[in-house]
Chain A
Amino acid sequence: MRLLAEGLSARRGEDLIFNDISFALDAGEALLVTGPNGSGKSTLLRVLAGLLTAETGRLKLEGGPPELQHPSELSHYLGHRNAMKRELTVAENLSFWKRFLGDSFGGAGWEIGAAAEAVGLPGITHLPFGYLSAGQQRRMAMAKLLVAYRPIWILDEPTAALDAAADTLFAGLVNAHLQQGGIVVAATHQPLGLGRVKELRMTGFAGVDGGLWHDA
């Protein structure tokens, strides 16, 4: 499986946020999107997730199922918001997403208990999501990535509100996903401690000529 972006650019209102961004990610590779605030990291990720339409350029997945409309169908998106209901318990939230999202081909989601254990919070799945602290909520939102299988993970500031232990734990989860042949695109300020990583540095509007490429 290979995720290809060719000459992507995106606009918000009148302003061009970024221009002519291209990259190629093979199975097992991660792309770290870095750059200062407002440089368009989140916008790029929302374009990848199919939530914004690109102004120009193309996004495609090689080696995916033939009936695929957009790579977003094979993607998990973890944005700034956790997409969990405060009124429902953690277990209800996770089992809803497990059933609603379903598994993409080529993998199986984890059981709720196992996923909660993987993010280091076993035994509190009976609590309403709203009772958890910000860091615990974020960890449970990560458990959502595990309960339904998706080969591509799109992560926007995944480790915001997390302590150092959770950072390492999360890096472990991402590495495990990469080793299974997954693809990860993450916008972040912290180094996640990952293995095979490419880096895309967004330079903001000043650098309209695009992302700077180098292998980290």
Chain B
Amino acid sequence: MIALFFRDLKLSIRAGGGAMIGVLFFMTVVAVIPFGVGPDLNLLSRIGPAILWIGALLASLLGLDRLFQAEREDGSLDLMLMQETPLIATVFVKCAAHWAATGLPLVIAAPLLGLFMNMDELAIGATMLTLLVGTPAITFIGAVGAAVAVSLPRGGLLVSILVLPLAIPVLIFGVSAVYAAIEDPAPFLPPLMILAAITLFFAVIGPLAAAAALRHASD
């Protein structure tokens, strides 16, 4: 299992891997916002957390469709399906590796992009923390979509459409936690806890559903 984790990390870093694509997309989306909205610093810092979250959500959806499709195309998926190790564990490890390669760089890039949006330290810190807690949920939800669309040759957009409605709660609670941190009366902890709960919930349900979908997609 550890071998699988490191193999997937290596693959995403090597040529053709998707690790940097997500970060670049994230940077592109956030970097054009100030040009579009105009140099109103107050407005930028007010919408900053929401923009960062939307950018991160879209960027983490970007490479998801290849999660199982690449394995299926070269026949590796067949061997993974045959093993004694529960498929759920295999899916979970693949999700973890995918998040470490694509989700974690988004969290790390967030402070830099926060400066673009004229956000203060507290807002940047809160955004990073909520992204750290929330983005794994997007990967786990996305794994289900990727497993369902595994045999479709151009399933990329379909995966995003399937996954987006389920990822909306993550976005809502992520953004509301950040706003709770910067605006005084609202408490920060409850939305953050709900966000963590969503992540834990999908960490269980996601691999379970994805494994079931993969079992039935084999031909």
Contact of B78 among A83, A86, A96, A101 (CB under 8 A): A83
Closest CB pairs A-B (n = 7): A81-B75, A99-B3, A83-B75, A87-B14, A73-B84, A72-B82, A83-B76
Is B11 touching A51 in the complex (CB atoms < 8 A)?
Answer: no
CA distance A144 to B183 in the complex (A): 58
Is A50 touching B82 in the complex (CB atoms < 8 A)?
Answer: yes
List of B residues within 8 angstroms of A77 by Cβ: 78-79, 82
Q: Taking A80-B75, A82-B75, A99-B3 as contacts, is the C-beta distance between A87 and B81 under 8 angstroms?
A: no
Shortest beta-carbon distance from A38 to chain B in Å: 15
Is A178 part of the contact surface with B, judged by Cβ < 8 Å? Answer: no
Is A96 touching B7 in the complex (CB atoms < 8 A)?
Answer: yes
Contact of B82 among A51, A82, A84 (CB under 8 A): A51
Is A52 touching B218 in the complex (CB atoms < 8 A)?
Answer: yes
Is A188 part of the contact surface with B, judged by Cβ < 8 Å? Answer: no
Contact with B along A11-55 (1 / 0, CB 8 A): 010000000000000000000000000000000001001111000
Contact of B15 among A72, A80, A82, A87 (CB under 8 A): A87
Is A117 part of the contact surface with B, judged by Cβ < 8 Å? Answer: no
A-B CB pair tally, cutoff 8 Å: 67
Number of residues from A at the complex interface, CB < 8 A:
28
Q: How large is the interface on B (under 10, 10 to 19, 20 to 34, 35 or more residues)?
A: 20 to 34
Is A85 part of the contact surface with B, judged by Cβ < 8 Å? Answer: yes
Is A88 part of the contact surface with B, judged by Cβ < 8 Å? Answer: yes
Contact of B3 among A12, A72, A81, A100 (CB under 8 A): A100
Contact of A49 among B10, B78, B219 (CB under 8 A): B78
Contact with A along B1-41 (1 / 0, CB 8 A): 11110010011001111000000000000000000000000
Is B73 part of the contact surface with A, judged by Cβ < 8 Å? Answer: yes
Is B82 touching A49 in the complex (CB atoms < 8 A)?
Answer: yes
Is B184 part of the contact surface with A, judged by Cβ < 8 Å? Answer: no
List of B residues within 8 angstroms of A12 by Cβ: 219
CA distance A69 to B11 in the complex (A): 32
Is A52 touching B219 in the complex (CB atoms < 8 A)?
Answer: yes
Contact of B11 among A72, A83, A87, A97 (CB under 8 A): A87
Shortest beta-carbon distance from B19 to chain A in Å: 12
CA distance A184 to B75 in the complex (A): 20
CA distance A88 to B17 in the complex (A): 11
List of B residues within 8 angstroms of A79 by Cβ: 75, 78
CA distance A82 to B15 in the complex (A): 20
Q: Which residue of A lies closest to B14 (CB)?
A: A87
Shortest beta-carbon distance from A143 to chain B in Å: 14
Contact of A81 among B1, B73, B82 (CB under 8 A): B73
Is A157 part of the contact surface with B, judged by Cβ < 8 Å? Answer: no
CA distance A111 to B83 in the complex (A): 21
Q: Taking A73-B83, A85-B11, A101-B83 as contacts, is the C-beta distance between A51 and B78 under 8 angstroms?
A: yes
CA distance A77 to B75 in the complex (A): 10
List of A residues within 8 angstroms of B3 by Cβ: 95-96, 99-100
CA distance A81 to B1 in the complex (A): 22
Shortest beta-carbon distance from B6 to chain A in Å: 8
Contact of B74 among A83, A95, A99 (CB under 8 A): A83
List of B residues within 8 angstroms of A75 by Cβ: 82
List of B residues within 8 angstroms of A99 by Cβ: 2-3
Is B11 touching A101 in the complex (CB atoms < 8 A)?
Answer: no
CA distance A88 to B74 in the complex (A): 13
